[in-house]
Structure 1
């Protein structure tokens, strides 16, 4: 009897904890009940934002945002209410532990059902599938991944009418980091293909030196490869980085920063030799650099050099409003779905005047991707002539 009561009490406690973390479908956390409805219809132009938690979302440019992928450590009901109040979607983070656990239809159905139930409880508008594990061509995992994407899209559309399913892909479909995926089939299945046009130096087979996070012509090459696979441009969202890399140099000669060799997935050198740093850090540290702000017109990316307290030289590569605007112009030229970033929390949203200006410029640079909007006028913009 005592044991039964204890188990019953534990069950009730678990129910209360789950209800607190994930509000049930009949308890809307917003001021207005209609704000818990699923957002319907498609936007002509997408601005897709990844949010990683905290309260920075209060400072997002909500006139631009159309979709927020909630990647923070906890569900934020206030963020959902705010997004819905301006007609923007909020989508789940969908990351299975491993594809090897989803080889059977039953295992995939169980995982998908769990995601749908969570989306309903949290009043979400869909799911963002962020699967980046290496997969061999035609392996069981290869087949399972394609099936998972197709089945997830079908199930979400049926269970939550109007829901959006997106999939994150590397900057190029050319087996980056060992990801042998069926990109054509995945692109056909989902509503949005978010191309992560960053970390493009994750595998360096040539000279082991610091380079741009998203060099212009390499980025363009990646999109051409997706177009060649017949991935519909109207489904593609260009992902740009709101962060960069701080590289410690083994030597710094004539602006060339030689790196320590750090292997990654078979490549002898990689950007893992550096450290990811947010745009806000870049703006603070460029002022103490030994080079001042520099801009590579070949890569269409800014950089600077500095010397740390121990006397070691560093080279820092990042993206700023100018480099984002240059890349973003491709979106309008090629008729792509929109633009987005990893991630929306990389800016300084403080009340300091210069920080406010810098944050506004980064958000406004996204307008360069939308042919319907008046483009931000940026000084010294060097836009190459191109068409894929």
Structure 2
């Protein structure tokens, strides 16, 4: 996107006039006008920190009413704005943060970048939120213009949010490893220093398969561990890392099934790798739980990858489904405790079954419980 001469500056002026510029008094001192909550105090931003961060992504709908709020500290809203959710979250002392996504090429110019940041700060204020989760995930070449712009975006966003909404939280989503996964060659050290913490997306680890083209776990334990080690080896403070785990798996159709755990895949290249998880499709945990006991094999456990899987038949084709469950997730949550990380989180909370069935309720409760390392 390109701006006509003077347009971006005008936008900054209009945003500042409408909501208040970044130099106004802190939001805690502003009157709570338009508060949708029965108690106006619930429209104040939360402050302080938690011993264990549990970061939850929500993609919309009403599932949030059934979440285990006793196990949450932050909810990132990636769906439509729901003022009732904000009131309920604040009543349970849980932060609510915006989704922040923008094309890097659109914020290379300082004026455009400032305008975008101000628009997000003012949106957070108008919705009585507590910060922003930056989810860009673009491929960036090392030390390119975009490399430095992305670092500046995080720094300036954090400074502005902290100034405008005291106690607010600015976080940044990163791949499972800092080793240029999917072309994301970022300045991870500076981004970690500038933000409140990194949400490490320890899933989709088969986006680039370099060795062989077989179905594998979405988030193998030792690969998860190696990614966290790589961040720590950059001397990033462990309290700046939140480990993200998947509440979904991958359903892979086999071009040939040699034996359990040896499901050959169609070659689907991605970013130079000959194979990728694009050969399969994502499947939510609630659907997995409906399928596994009806499958050909039932639940298998792969001790090398520390992950469950099963085999089913669909239209005369064998499918191998790899996923995470309370056993595999609790093992990964143990990494949080072992290395004193900031916390744990998941993508995403809507992927469980929140119905009235007693079996589903237990399965859902076990997944929430698995997030807390023993």
TM-score when scaled to structure 1? Answer: 0.87
Residue 368 of structure 2 corresponds to residue 366 of structure 1: no
Q: Which one of the candidate residues 121, 125, 134 is aligned to 2:126?
A: 121
Residue 105 of structure 2 corresponds to residue 103 of structure 1: no
Distance 1:236 1:78 in 2: 30
Distance 2:38 2:323 in 1: 40
Deviation of residue 106 (structure 1)?
1.2
Partner of 2:249: 244
Structure 2 SS opposite 1:367? coil
Unaligned runs of 5+ in 1: 1-23, 369-374, 376-388
Distance 2:356 2:270 in 1: 40
Partner of 1:165: 170
Q: Contact 1:25/1:120 (CA < 8 Å) preserved in 2? A: no
Residue 308 of structure 2 corresponds to residue 297 of structure 1: no
Distance 2:257 2:140 in 1: 37
Partner of 2:267: 261
Q: Which one of the candidate residues 194, 202, 209 is aligned to 1:204?
A: 209
Q: Contact 2:32/2:40 (CA < 8 Å) preserved in 1? A: no
Distance 2:87 2:54 in 1: 18
Q: Which one of the candidate residues 272, 281, 286 is aligned to 1:275?
A: 281
Unaligned runs of 5+ in 2: 1-30
- Give a deviation string over 1:125-144, Cα, whole Å, max 9, x none: 00000010101111111110
Deviation of residue 253 (structure 1)?
0.8
Distance 2:338 2:272 in 1: 36
Alignment of 1:18-167 (within 5 A): 26-72=33-79, 74-96=80-102, 98-167=103-172
Q: Contact 1:101/1:107 (CA < 8 Å) preserved in 2? A: yes
Distance 1:274 1:129 in 2: 27
Distance 1:220 1:202 in 2: 17
Distance 1:287 1:70 in 2: 33
Structure 2 SS opposite 1:210? coil
Distance 1:32 1:187 in 2: 36
Moved over 2 A (4+): none
Distance 1:233 1:44 in 2: 13
Distance 1:136 1:331 in 2: 30
- Give a deviation string over 1:245-269, Cα, whole Å, max 9, x none: 0000000111200000111122111
Structure 2 SS opposite 1:118? helix
Structure 1 vs Structure 2 CA RMSD: 1.1
TM-score when scaled to structure 2? Answer: 0.91
Q: Which one of the candidate residues 322, 336, 339 is aligned to 1:331?
A: 336
Distance 1:361 1:313 in 2: 29
Distance 2:38 2:99 in 1: 25
Q: Contact 1:210/1:257 (CA < 8 Å) preserved in 2? A: yes
Structure 2 SS opposite 1:63? helix
Distance 2:128 2:197 in 1: 20
Distance 2:45 2:239 in 1: 22
Deviation of residue 25 (structure 1)?
5.5
Distance 1:268 1:305 in 2: 24
Distance 1:208 1:333 in 2: 33
- Give a deviation string over 1:87-112, Cα, whole Å, max 9, x none: 1100000001x101111221110100
